[in-house]
Amino acid sequence: TRDLFSLETIDTRDIIPCLVLFSRPHGISIPVVEYETVLIVATSFSITTLLSYLCKLIYSY
């Protein structure tokens, strides 16, 4: 990975601004309906904590 990274040239014109949020099953709700693209990753039983976000996305579409 280090070798590949050293070969990478970064052109600042190609950088796309983005927002990344990490959420856990506690705390405040994230306004997921305000974003154009949402990627949800869950494993095993953690999917149950994300169901409310999925419902918001589906019903607001």
What is the predicted pLDDT for the residue at 42?
81
Residue 57 and residue 51: Cα distance in Å, rounded?
10
Among 51, 26, 20, which residue's Cα sits nearest to residue 38?
A: 20
What is the predicted pLDDT for the residue at 55?
85
The pTM of the full predicted model, rounded to 2 decimals, is 0.45
What is the predicted pLDDT for the residue at 46?
76
Domain limits of the chain?
17-60
DSSP, res 44:
G
Residue-wise pLDDT tens digits, 4-52:
667 666 666 666 667 666 666 566 677 777 778 888 888 887 788 788 8
What is the predicted pLDDT for the residue at 16?
67
Query: Is-contact 17 41, C-beta < 8 A?
Result: no
What is the predicted pLDDT for the residue at 15?
65
